[in-house]
Amino acid sequence: MNQVKTPIHTQAHQAEPYYQRHIFFCLNERENGEDCCAMHGVQAAFEHCKIRIKKEGLSGKGMVRVNKAGCLDRCAGGPVAVVYPEGVWYTFIDNEDIDEIIDAHLKKGQIVERLVLPDSVGR
């Protein structure tokens, strides 16, 4: 039985995380024609988020990091993004949805319930 192990903390471990939050956008593109996040405008959403975060001075140490990710294996809900450390999965349609995630979750720590991807949605 596989289990996730608790990481070992050492003196070198930082008490405070380098970033307050990470948002990862699935940018996976399947070559076999299967549905994937890349087919749903995720690149534009990623770029919009990155520009907004930078423009509002929210990027950098102790703030927000916007990252690209490969397949996050939640294709059926695509496009998807996940915010850590909370581990909240989102699906979205347009830049207005991304703006709402930025304004509520990334800035204030408030989950945007209407955009949360149900746990039952997988590949």
| Structural domains for the chain | 21-115 (3.40.30.10)
| 61-90 confidence digits (pLDDT tens) | 999 999 999 988 887 788 999 999 999 999
pTM of the model: 0.84
Per-residue pLDDT reduced to its tens digit, 8-35: 555 555 568 899 999 999 988 888 877 7
Long-range CB contacts for residues 51-54, cutoff 8 Å, separation at least 24: 52/98, 52/99, 52/102, 53/102, 53/106
8 A C-beta contact, residue 41 and residue 79: yes
